[in-house]
């Protein structure tokens, strides 16, 4: 049951930094006390701690885009160094980089989605339906 004392004032200014921090930690952007996700990437409909409606904030493809960009920026120098310094067998390089890229993507996707939801919450960008 939601604690009414924790329910944020809808007119209250929403701090972007705090919302991003809570989102990166996969917590509710409003209170930071309850988990944001129900499962791996499913956003809870409502925060169990403060009652904020979380289903209104649709991240769409933004988390995937940001995650791919971050993973690419991290892996490009790693690939260059790996290829130049170690001269690996191409098949070994493909296997190692595929595993590394997949692991890094799965590791970063959840906090990235949390940060996008936090950003949308701080900007009051609700899904108005299309
Ligand atoms: Zn909350």
Find the 106 Cα to ligand 1 centroid distance in Å.
Answer: 24
Number of H helices, E strands in the chain: 3, 0
Residue 89 confidence (pLDDT): 92
Compute the distance from residue 99 Cα to the ligand 1 centre, in Å: 35
d(CA 33, CA 42): 17
Distance 36 CA to ligand 1 centre (A): 8
In 3D space, the residue among 40, 38, 20 whose CA is nearest the CA of residue 29 turns out to be 20
Average pLDDT value for residue range 95-124:
95
Instruction: Quote the pLDDT of residue 126.
Output: 78
CA–CA separation, 127 vs 80, rounded Å?
Answer: 41
Q: Give Dmax over CA atoms of the chain in angstroms.
A: 61
Contact 105, 71 (CB under 8 A): yes
CB of 15 closer than 8 Å to CB of 31? no
pLDDT, tens digit, 9 for 90 and up, residues 4-32: 555 555 556 789 999 999 999 999 999 99
pLDDT tens per residue, range 61-103: 999 999 999 999 999 999 999 889 999 899 999 999 999 999 9
Q: Give the model's pLDDT for residue 125.
A: 80
Q: What is the pTM of this model?
A: 0.84
Question: What pLDDT does 6 receive?
Answer: 56
Ligand 1 centre distance from Cα of residue 112 (Å): 18
């Amino acid at each position: 049951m939601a604690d009414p004392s924790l329910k944020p004032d809808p007119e209250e200014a929403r701090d972007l930094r705090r919302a991003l921090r809570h989102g990166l930690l996969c917590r509710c952007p409003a209170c930071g006390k309850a988990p944001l996700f129900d499962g791996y990437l499913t956003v809870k409909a409502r925060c169990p701690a403060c009652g904020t409606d979380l289903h209104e904030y649709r991240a769409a493809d933004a988390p995937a885009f940001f995650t791919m960009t971050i993973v690419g920026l991290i892996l490009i120098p790693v690939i260059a160094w790996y290829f130049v310094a170690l001269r690996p067998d191409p098949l070994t390089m493909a296997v190692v980089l595929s595993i590394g890229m997949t692991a890094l993507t799965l590791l970063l996707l959840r906090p990235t989605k949390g940060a996008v939801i936090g950003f949308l919450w701080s900007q009051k960008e609700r899904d108005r339906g299309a």
